[in-house]
């Protein structure tokens, strides 16, 4: 009997999955209610579609998790999904598949803020004047969360001659990355950094981590970059910090909610660059996503655990 995989991915990826040497049977999960396929499949590949926002939040759907042995989420975080998704025997995630693309976004944001060539550009003779440009070399980049994304940012930043300071919850990772100074707390990081990069998962513990108290401790004039989740930042406190000048600028690829409602001040704030959750560059990263899925199918076929299993207690 073949291994049945229900998938929310596009047909091209599903066809590639079906060509795995174990020849799994791949079926499409229902668009509006993907969880209802649980009794017809051994594995379920999910992605953060609107259907999951509309799924029951408190009541576990009848029959869940059915015959499922494994759920794979094509996002690194599981905060998008209802809590009962983690009731499946094993849930693993796509951690690391888009970290390089997201790190490129972060470095682009740092250079855009430091050099700002668009503002310095000359379009007529009257604008042919000297403009002081900033420098990444010698600046301090603070990384909050030194997982796959934070590590990719740190590698790039140290190569550019920046000082990198970081904090991470896991003591096991406090040996850090070569060239990165690990600090005891997030407050220590933000007090020293010219550019603060948020790369922590969204959990109850990190909700509004960047609130009034922490934002009051940032280095004056710092630049905040959020590529994690919007819920990690208290947006009202962020706007207050920008208005006061405590923060000089914020580059935000994530907000809470997404998208923000029409008329929200972050859309038009002169000290904010807001992008619509595009830093992962899915088109570029999906090849690595497919590779990870195929590797995990091999592991599961041999009775092993997939990589990057989600810790139910930590929520990531």
The three-class DSSP label of residue 141 is strand
Strands 43-46 and 163-167: unpaired
More confident residue, 31 or 173: 31
232: in domain: yes
Is 269 labeled as catalytic in the residue annotation? no
Same domain, 84 and 130: no
Are 86 and 124 in the same domain? no
Nearest CA to 71 among 53, 89, 84? 89
Q: What is the pLDDT of residue 143?
A: 98
**Which residues, 6 or more positions from 113, have their beta carbon under 8 angstroms from its beta carbon?**
134, 195, 223, 249, 251
Do the domain assignments include residue 57?
yes
DSSP H helices in 146-234: 148-159, 186-192, 212-215
pLDDT bracket for residue 174 (50, 70, 90): very low
pLDDT digits (tens, 9 = 90+) for 91-117: 999 999 999 999 999 999 999 999 999
- What is the CB neighbour count within 10 angstroms for residue 97? 24
Indicate whether 37 pLDDT > 60.
Answer: yes
Do 13 and 65 belong together in one domain? Answer: yes
d(CA 203, CA 79): 7
What pLDDT does 176 receive?
A: 56
88 with 105, same domain: the answer is no
In degrees and rounded to multiples of 5, residue 137 shows phi and psi of -55, 125
- Interval 51-57 mean pLDDT: 94
Inform me whether the pLDDT recorded for 256 exceeds 60: yes
Number of domains in the chain: 2
Catalytic position from the list 12, 258, 312, 314: 258
Q: Which of 20, 269, 277, 299 is catalytic?
A: 277
How high is the mean pLDDT of the chain?
Answer: 95
Using a pLDDT cut of 90, give the percent of the chain over it: 93
| Per-residue confidence (pLDDT) for residue 173, from 0 to 100 | 47
Catalytic residue (choose from 229, 246, 270, 314)? 229
- How does pLDDT run across 220-239, given as a tens digit for each residue? 999 999 999 999 999 999 99
Q: Which domain holds residue 258?
A: 99-274
Q: Say whether pTM exceeds 0.75.
A: yes
Annotation says 258 is catalytic: yes
* Residue 315: inside a domain: no
Q: Is 83 one of the annotated active-site residues of the chain?
A: no
pLDDT at 116: 95
């Amino acid at each position: 009997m073949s291994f049945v995989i229900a998938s929310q991915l596009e047909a091209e990826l599903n066809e590639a999955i079906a060509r795995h040497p174990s020849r799994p049977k791949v079926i499409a999960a229902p668009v509006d209610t993907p969880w209802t396929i649980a009794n017809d499949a051994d594995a379920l590949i999910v992605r953060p579609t609107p259907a999951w926002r509309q799924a029951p939040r408190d009541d576990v759907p009848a029959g869940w998790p059915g015959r499922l042995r494994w759920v794979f989420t094509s996002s690194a975080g599981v905060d998008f999904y209802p809590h009962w998704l983690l009731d499946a025997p094993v849930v693993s995630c796509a951690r690391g598949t888009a970290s390089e693309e997201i790190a490129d976004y972060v470095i682009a944001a740092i250079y855009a803020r430091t050099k700002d060539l668009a503002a310095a550009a000359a379009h007529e003779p009257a604008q042919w004047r000297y403009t002081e440009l900033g420098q990444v070399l010698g600046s301090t980049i603070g990384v909050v969360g030194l997982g796959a994304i934070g590590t990719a940012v740190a590698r790039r930043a140290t190569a550019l001659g920046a000082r990198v300071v970081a904090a991470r919850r896991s003591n096991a990772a406090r040996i850090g990355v070569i060239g990165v100074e690990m600090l005891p707390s997030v407050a220590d990081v933000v007090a020293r950094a010219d550019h603060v990069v948020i790369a922590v998962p969204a959990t109850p513990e990190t909700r509004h981590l960047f609130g009034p108290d922490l934002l009051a401790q940032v280095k004056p004039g710092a630049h905040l970059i959020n590529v994690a989740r919007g819920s990690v930042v208290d947006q009202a406190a962020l706007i207050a910090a920008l208005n006061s000048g405590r923060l000089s600028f914020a580059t935000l690829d994530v907000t809470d909610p997404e998208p923000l409602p029409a008329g929200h001040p972050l859309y038009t704030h002169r000290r904010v660059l807001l992008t619509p959750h595009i830093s992962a560059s899915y088109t570029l990263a999906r090849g690595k996503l497919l590779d990870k899925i195929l590797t995990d199918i091999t592991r599961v076929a041999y009775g092993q655990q997939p990589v990057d299993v989600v810790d139910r207690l930590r929520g990531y």
